[in-house]
Amino acid sequence: MMESSVNVTCAEIQSTDGFEFRVPADRFTHFQQSDGEPLWYSQDHRLIADPSDPQKRIAPVISVSSDRLVTSHCVDELHHEIYCTTSGFSLETIFRDDLNESLQLSDQLWWISALIFIVLLALICFSLWKKIFRR
């Protein structure tokens, strides 16, 4: 399986209809239109939309086609997979919310900074305690 990631922010993909996830056109060059079966999955790999049956879709999906999915709200991660039945070749495109990843990183940096501060504060208190009780 070939895999690639597309990092987007919610602001970049917001449209009047909702949030539009669009597969880059070059992802379809490996497949014959009749041979590749595109499917859309959620972050936990549940099938949420099948372009061959656009009426069967799971929230938050509003509309679907082979190269585009529109959702009612922005989601952290979506998977688009094209599976070739004759060769068994598959190609997955993962859409990730770039802003969410940067927020997670900033949260991690905040916790690391807080931990360092607490350790330094404990060391200072310990050294002061030793000085006070040595007398």
Kind of pairing between the strands at 77-84 and 90-97: antiparallel
Cα gap 46→99, rounded to integer Å? 23
pTM above 0.75, yes or no: no
Residue 57 lies in a domain: yes
Residue 35 lies in a domain: yes
Residue 112 lies in a domain: no
Taking Cα atoms as reference points, which of 91, 70, 93, 88 lies closest to residue 23? 93
Taking Cα atoms as reference points, which of 110, 93, 114 lies closest to residue 102? 110
Task: State the Rg of the chain over Cα.
Answer: 24
Structure tokens at 125: 């208190």
Residue 30 lies in a domain: yes
pLDDT tens per residue, range 11-49 = 889 999 899 999 888 776 665 555 678 899 999 999 999
